[in-house]
Structure 1
Amino acid sequence: MVQSVRRAVLMLRELAAEGPGLGVTELARRLGIAKPTAHALLRTLEAEGLVMRDRGSGRYRPGPGLLQLGNAYLERQELRTRSLTWADALAARANEAVWVAVPAENRVLVVHHAFRPDGAVQILEVGATLPWSTCALGKAIAAFLPGPRRRELLAEEPPVLTGSSITDPAVLAEQLREVARRGYAVEDQESALGDAGIAAPVFDGSGEVAGAIGVVGPVERVLAEPAAEDNAVAVRETARNLSRDLGAPRGTGYGGRDGWDRA
């Protein structure tokens, strides 16, 4: 591992997590490096457009170069590209917003967002990340990961975003078993109060879980019957069709055969 590259990546992550930006001294402290080293890294990143310095406060923030890199990733992300039509169709069928996400360490990254088709003002969530344990998308992915990786996730301390966030690993493990059995996951106000989601895993040509697709919206609409059952059916059917579009073998992953039971 190249130490300078790793430090630069950690520095970008610290800046991404801080809205107001950070100064050289604070960045050096957080990374455990000398102030001159932090300053040299920042100057290099600034020259490449990856960070920018506020002339008034002297604080550094993420730069426009990161947006270019992020857009390049999205344009070449196969699951996102393949999901565009399927997500729009699911949004129209469920009359709810649809998110597509991929795993990102112990979180999920939203790579596509199809707006709810009612004309209401909505905020684009592409690029948002959520802890895997607090959303249906994350649980749909985690349930079908290889056993060792799934156990790693369950061994970590679950974050708390709302009073409904689940913090008991045993409860999360049981939820994942149920997801693997029925083929879809449910979230009930675990990421944000009043919001809910239903998501299903999407598999690639190798049979591995590539991400998840799901509906998100107000809990009183998404999880109220009979809408909840209709949404679950629609989400799972869409995920299966999207998986086939990615080349996944028929039946891959569902019923726990390729997910929970895999060592």
Structure 2
Amino acid sequence: MEEQGTQVIARAAALLRAIGSADSGASTTELARQAGIPRPTAHRLLSALAEEGLIDREHTTGQWSLGPELYLLGAGAADRYDITEQSRDIIDRLARESGESAFLSARRGDETVCVYSQEGSFPLRSHVLHVGIRLPLGVASAGLVILSHLPDNDISGYLARTDLVSRWGTEHSEKSVRKRITATRRNGYAVNPGLLVEGSWGMGAAVFDRGGRPAWALSLTGVETRFRAERRLELGKLLLDQAHELSMRLR
């Protein structure tokens, strides 16, 4: 019975994360697929979450979105976990000086979640990231740079229990991810050379908490032509400088 209760909580949490990752709501079928749950079970759990005010359902479209009770709970947790106010000027500076889209992502277990963004002045943009999207560690520049700065044992444990290939392709095999980890550790910053969407590049630098753990990441995204080799060196230095400033600020 205790195991069943734990499974229900895990499934409900998976559905909430899936809703949070959706840009403008999602259907029951979509959420069930993302959470890996049978559709009838997903519908039953979604209905129960809605009764508690944790999610809402649009009557005309049937799509689910996060509800008011989650906002209240989130406001209570913000004082402890939200660093948006401390980092807002840094994100704005990244966007202004690079011309690219700048993002702040937070580590949440085996994932990163984008929590703040600022558009740059360059008219062509990558639309891979948006506030609320969740991606596994090792996927996109933010997830890669955080994973790269974890201890070796943590990296090995994560890669052993995680299948990135089935959803993200062969470029996310353990061998490929470890190769990018080596490059990230050498450079200090991570590079995503269009692995999620062709022609859409990203770069990221880790931000560390008071204990020296990689808890957040700053990243820049844009079109491939804006991320040539020479400019990557400039953007990498910019990211590392700003990530260091934010890490010092948080300490």
Do Structure 1 and Structure 2 share a fold, with TM-score over 0.5? yes
Query: How many positions carry a matched residue from both structures?
Result: 238
Distance 1:14 1:137 in 2: 19
Q: Would the alpha carbon gap of residues 102 and 15 (structure 1) be closer, same or farther in structure 2, given more than 3 Å must change?
A: closer
1:91 is matched with 95
Q: Is the 8 A contact 1:15 1:21 kept in 2?
A: no
Conserved 8 A contact 1:95-1:116: yes
1:255 is matched with which residue? none
Instruction: Give the whole-Å Cα distance in 1 for the aligned partners of 2:177 and 2:19.
Output: 31
Q: How does 1:44-59 map to 2 (within 5 A)?
A: 44-53=48-57
Quote how far apart the aligned CAs of 1:120 are. 7.6
**Is the CA contact 1:162–1:193 (under 8 Å) kept in the aligned structure 2?**
no
Q: Distance in 1 between matches of 2:174 and 2:68?
A: 39
Residue matched to 2:195: 190
Question: Paired residue for 2:67, among 50, 64, 69?
Answer: 64
Contact 2:20 2:132 in 1 (8 A): no
Aligned equivalent of 2:120, options 107, 116, 129: 116
C-alpha change, 1:161 and 1:9, in structure 2 (3 Å) is: closer
| Residue ranges of structure 2 left out of the alignment (5+ in a row) | none
Q: Which has the larger radius of gyration?
A: 1
**What do residues 114-149 of structure 1 show as CA deviations (whole Å, max 9, x unaligned)?**
111357899781111223333111111001113332
CA distance in 2, matches of 1:56, 1:178: 49
Q: C-alpha displacement at 1:174, in angstroms?
A: 2.4
* TM-score (normalised: structure 2): 0.77
Aligned partners of 1:121 and 1:142: how far apart in 2? 26
Residue 22 (str. 1) matches residue 28 (str. 2): yes
Deviation at 1:229, TM superposition (A): 1.4
Equivalent residue of 2:83, what SS?
helix
Aligned partner of residue 127 in structure 1, secondary structure: coil
**Do the aligned residues in 1 keep the contact of 2:126 with 2:200 (CA within 8 Å)?**
no
Could you report, residue by residue, the CA deviation over 1:43-76 in whole angstroms, capped at 9, with x for unpaired residues? 542222223456578x572343266258635675
Q: 2:182 — aligned with what?
A: 177
Report whether the alignment pairs 1:107 with 2:111.
yes
Name the amino acid aligned to 2:235.
N
Post-superposition offset of 1:150:
1.2
* Alignment of structure 1 residues 202-217 onto 2, 5 Å: 202-217=207-222
| TM-score using structure 1 length | 0.74
Paired position in structure 2 for 1:146: 151
The offset of 1:228, in angstroms, is 1.6
Question: Contact between 1:16 and 1:61, CA under 8 Å: does it hold in 2?
Answer: no
Query: Aligned Cα RMSD in Å?
Result: 3.5
CA distance in 1, matches of 2:20, 2:114: 16
Q: Which amino acid is 2:87 matched to? A: S
Alpha-carbon displacement from aligned partner over 1:66-102 (angstroms, at most 9, x marks no partner): 6625863567534333211111111111111111111
Query: Structure 1: where are the runs of 5+ without partners?
Result: 248-263
Please name the residue that 2:131 is paired with.
126
Report which of the two has the higher share of helix. Answer: 2
